[in-house]
Amino acid sequence: MAGRRYLIAGNWKMNGHRSDGVALAADLAQRLAAAGTVPFDMLVCPPATLIAPVADVVKGSPLAVGGQDCHTAVKGAHTGDIAPEMLADLGCTAVIVGHSERRQDHDETDSVVKAKAAAALRAGLTAVICVGETEAERDGGRAEDVVAEQLTGSIPADATAENTVIAYEPVWAIGTGRTPTTADIAAMHAKIRSHLRGLVANSDAVRILYGGSVKPSNAVEIMALADVDGALVGGASLKADDFWAIAASCR
């Protein structure tokens, strides 16, 4: 933490139809309004189909809305893609880039992720840049090197603590119910923080989120770690009670 404000971000992935997505966002916005002053920012990243209705329903609320991916171009002949400027136009303030599911399913390399992050900054969005090792890489003792290489390759030159958030998501912890030990999370986040010193202006103020099977039952101990500044939550972000309980674990 150390002066950094927590960010609790929900990545809905490819889940939700209009009625349940809008209801979930409205529920969270209502809880935020009722809670008053809280020690965290809250962000939801719905699938592209739900960004407009979700942005509409949370208008005027501190609940922020983001995309899950963006293209590098402002516009043009890119069937199926979405420019970061289009996300901003709907009211988004952030976009996730380089999620491991994008890296896997769409062969996104570090240089693609860097270009997407740069495009996000161009559009005035906060780039939530994801990194994380596979199980084989961790078992091979290469987790820290892999993550350092992803950071170097994925962070654009104009990244600052104000426009960039890092999410550490070990691939093997995503959707599996397994998490690293708190000692391993603490060690990786400290390593990321020190690696950011050469890459991002005002790096000590960059928020580093942990993601991968975060749930109400493990959030308190993870959020208490010195270099953990929030969470990027998948499955548990689809239930208002669970997502709110994770946020409430920020002290």
Residues involved in catalysis: 99, 169
Q: What minimum distance in Å lies between the beta carbon of 214 and ligand 13P?
A: 5
Closer Cβ to ligand 13P, 75 or 178, answer by number: 178
Shortest Cβ distance from residue 74 to ligand 13P (Å)?
26
Sequential DSSP letters for the chain? -TTPPEEEEEE--S---HHHHHHHHHHHHHHHHHH-S-SEEEEEE--HHHHHHHHHHTTTSS-EEEES---SSSSSS-TT---HHHHHHHT--EEEE--HHHHHHT---HHHHHHHHHHHHHTTPEEEEEE---HHHHHTT-HHHHHHHHHHHHS-TT-BTTTEEEEE--GGGTTTS----HHHHHHHHHHHHHHHTTTSBTGGG-EEEEESS--HHHHHHHHTSTT--EEEESGGGGSHHHHHHHHHT--
Figure out which of the listed residues 166, 211, 225, 244 binds ligand 13P, where binding follows CB under 6 A.
211
Among 16, 66, 156, 212, binds ligand 13P (CB under 6 A): 212
124 scored as a contact of ligand 13P (CB under 6 A) = no
List Cβ neighbours of 190 (8 Å cut-off, separation of 6 or more).
Answer: 226, 227
Q: Give the nearest distance from C-beta 14 to ligand 13P in angstroms.
A: 12
Q: Hey, which residues between 142 and 171 contact ligand 13P (CB under 6 A)?
A: 169
Name the minimum Å distance from CB 60 to ligand 13P.
Answer: 27
With CB under 6 A as the contact rule, the residue among 6, 7, 8, 11 that binds ligand 13P is 11
Least Å distance between CB 39 and ligand 13P?
A: 21
Contact characters 49-88, ligand 13P, x per CB under 6 A: ----------------------------------------
Q: What pairs with residue 6 in β-bridges?
A: 40
Nearest to 189 by CA among 126, 251, 131: 131
Find the binder of ligand 13P among 72, 163, 213, 249 (CB under 6 A): 213
Select the residue interacting with ligand 13P from 175, 197, 202, 226 (CB under 6 A): 175
Binding mask 17-56 for ligand 13P (x = CB under 6 A): ----------------------------------------
Q: How far is CA 107 from the centre of its chain?
A: 19
Cβ atoms of 232 and 246 closer than 8 Å: no
Site string for ligand 13P, 87-106 (x = CB under 6 A): ------------x-------
Report the chain's terminal Cα–Cα distance, integer Å. 10
Smallest gap from residue 34 Cβ to ligand 13P (A) = 25
User: Contact positions toward ligand 13P, by CB under 6 A?
Assistant: 11, 99, 169, 174-175, 211-214, 232-236
